[in-house]
A and B are shown apart, each in its own frame.
Chain A
Amino acid sequence: MIRQPISGSWRAGLGLASILLVMLLYTALASSRQRTARREQQEVAQTRLSELEEQRVDLQRDLETARAETDQTSRERGVEQAESGLQRNAEETEKFEALRDQPTKVDRTVPSWSMLLQDGLIRACTPQGAFERKEIWLVEDFKATGLRLLTSLLVGILCSVVIGLLMGCLDPVDAFLMPPFTFFSKVPATAVLPIFFVVIQINFSMYVAIIVFGMLPSLAQAISASVRKDVPEELIFKAYTLGASQFELIADVIFKKVLPRILDAARLQIGPALVLLVAAEWMVAGEGIGYRLRLFYQRTDMTVVFVYVFLLGVIGLVVDYALIWARRKLCPWFGE
């Protein structure tokens, strides 16, 4: 009933059931897509077969007409022509009959599990490429995107912490930065992408700039709000009576008090940062996750796409838990 707690095994069971349900739904969708693809192929084959049948009847008639020809030369030519026509017709009929009985078409929009493994995961994990330079897509793409993401998160969080603390502690800084930050935090960062593409040009620092632009205003505001809300003035006065300097007050009291909030706020910014990065890569990159997704989208081949999506989810989970773990280690006093 409402807010009635359930046992741990119930909880685990229900969680597992929902995962199984998702997998089941996917399997059903994939197999229905495959069935549809095969049926369409059978229908096409059937249509072609009836055309071929009509053609065969015509050719048979032509053969008989040719055999009845009096002139020997034209009779031989007519018979030969009709016979080779029938020959081709028979071959083609055989081919389409095979297709009708055992359709070969596969659908790549919702691939089956075996295709995901074979054409998705295994293809992405083995060196690919027609030329000398063979590369493993998964490694290359995740390396490129990961480097961009890590660098920008580092720069973005560092800048946000410094600016957020200053905004929270010093009213002039807050008064000066609040208007642009409030405005820019409302601008959807994806809308600003073209400006970055043109102004900075497409290079590594552009991706960093985009993500920093996307996270700085809201993260700095969140940190500043936390400084104002979560640090009671008593603690500040107390630190003064213990002989703290201004800088010690910020570094040893305020920063430590809001550190768990900073880690939580930063954790919430990783998702949006990844959205921005994949979007930017999708549009302009020559390597990276977004780039690979675009390539396969253009081929309407979702095998690799699904593998990438799954891996992105896994990485998101891992990073999330890593940050929660870091908060527990760094701020054991904070509790859950």
Chain B
Amino acid sequence: MNADSSSPAKQPSPTAENGQPDIVLECQQVSHWFGDNKVLNNVNLRIARGQIVALVGPSGSGKSTLLRAILGTHPPKSGQVVMDGAPYRKPHRDRGIVYQRYSLFPFLTAEENVAFGPMLDQTSIPFRVFQFPKWRAQRADQLRQAGELLDQVGLGHAKRKYPSELSGGMCQRVAIAQALIMRPKLLLLDEPFGALDESTRESLQLMLLHLYQENIDARAKHQPEPHTILIVTHELNEALYVSDRILGLSQYHQGGSEGATIVYDKPAPIFQPHEERDHVRFNQQKEMLLKSVFSDEFIQHHSEFVSFWSEVASERQQLSH
């Protein structure tokens, strides 16, 4: 059943120094409904620091509802969402988001968009008004940082352009930079590449792989992984390619009339940025996903394909032997 064919060295190791999983986010019995329409039913989920998790599911399965609950803009009607041990019901600078549309502030240039977070986060309006000279100095610093980040995502030439002058792919790169500059504990990506053409999509997926590579490098140096990402997508290939763990949210399970829940949770194959995409490696897991998550004819108990944490545990046991 192990869908991951990569070597143990590349295996995700969602563990802190003490060997226990370093859980960033936890959904506890999260349920949500709109009137009579039950959307989410007892969703339980833990995400460890450094994971890049893909969330897939058929349309109408409540992916966006779960994402909004995790973001904090639309708290669940029952159950709770916990970050680093603290429950919350509001959006916060620790949780970044990149939407498919309206990702950028249209009245700011690319550079200002990226520097917008530090400005809002580190300064207040009274400070900017009454201590203008200090603010000017700080602003120059923030813009410089933003510029460096834009250079890193390959948009150094477009710093002074407004979003309306950028292509869709460039906008999403800026949006990711805008979220990353905040160093969020969890970065949420809501169908971030859904509106892009194939080649742009691939280059942005590559960008996510580079982020994952930074995690691996940090792990090798025994530093905390910088990026924890939850990406919602309807593209199974994309989910398998960019993530190290795949979650399936679906209403097609026993008790599905009460709402969707997590019906699939397994490690995903890990690719390095320079590696070729190996579709053969995808196929086995893709078929399993299509059956367990997307098929309304295949109804099973919701925990049947949820084995991520037990696989991690057995993996760790094997390693320790």
* A155 to B124 CA separation, bound complex (whole angstroms): 27
Q: Is the CB of B96 within 8 A of A257?
A: no
* A176 to B162 CA separation, bound complex (whole angstroms): 38
Q: Is the CB of A241 within 8 A of B71?
A: yes
Does A198 make an interface contact (CB < 8 A)? no
Does B198 make an interface contact (CB < 8 A)? no
Main secondary structure of the interface of B (DSSP, over half): loop
Does A235 make an interface contact (CB < 8 A)? yes
How many residues of A are counted as interface, with CB atoms below 8 angstroms from the partner's CB atoms? 26
For chain B, residues 31 to 63, give those with C-beta under 8 angstroms from any C-beta of chain A: none
Question: Whole-angstrom distance from the CB of B300 to the nearest CB of chain A?
Answer: 35
* A316 to B86 CA separation, bound complex (whole angstroms): 60
Contacts of A247 in B (CB 8 A): 125
A259: nearest chain-B partner, CB-CB:
B107
Contacts of B119 in A (CB 8 A): 252
Name which of B98-106, B248-256, B264-272, B289-297 contacts chain A.
Answer: B98-106
Contacts of A248 in B (CB 8 A): 120, 124-125
**With A234-B99, A251-B125 in contact, is A335–B107 under 8 Å at CB?**
no
Q: Is the CB of B125 within 8 A of A242?
A: no
* A243 to B91 CA separation, bound complex (whole angstroms): 9
Partner of B120, one of A237, A252, A256: A252
Does A232 make an interface contact (CB < 8 A)? yes
Most buried by A among B96, B120, B162: B120
* A242 to B117 CA separation, bound complex (whole angstroms): 5
Does A253 make an interface contact (CB < 8 A)? yes
Question: Whole-angstrom distance from the CB of A264 to the nearest CB of chain B?
Answer: 15
Q: Is the CB of A243 within 8 A of B105?
A: no
Most buried by B among A233, A242, A331: A242
Q: Is the CB of A235 within 8 A of B107?
A: no
For chain A, residues 241 to 279, give those with C-beta under 8 angstroms from any C-beta of chain B: 241-245, 247-248, 251-253, 256-257, 259
Task: List A residues at the B interface (Cβ < 8 Å).
Answer: 232-235, 237-245, 247-248, 251-253, 256-257, 259, 331-335
A-B pairs with beta carbons under 8 Å apart, 12 shown: A237-B73, A238-B97, A238-B99, A238-B103, A241-B179, A243-B93, A243-B182, A244-B120, A245-B124, A247-B125, A333-B108, A333-B162
CB-based closest 6 A-B pairs:
A243-B121, A243-B93, A242-B117, A240-B91, A234-B102, A333-B162
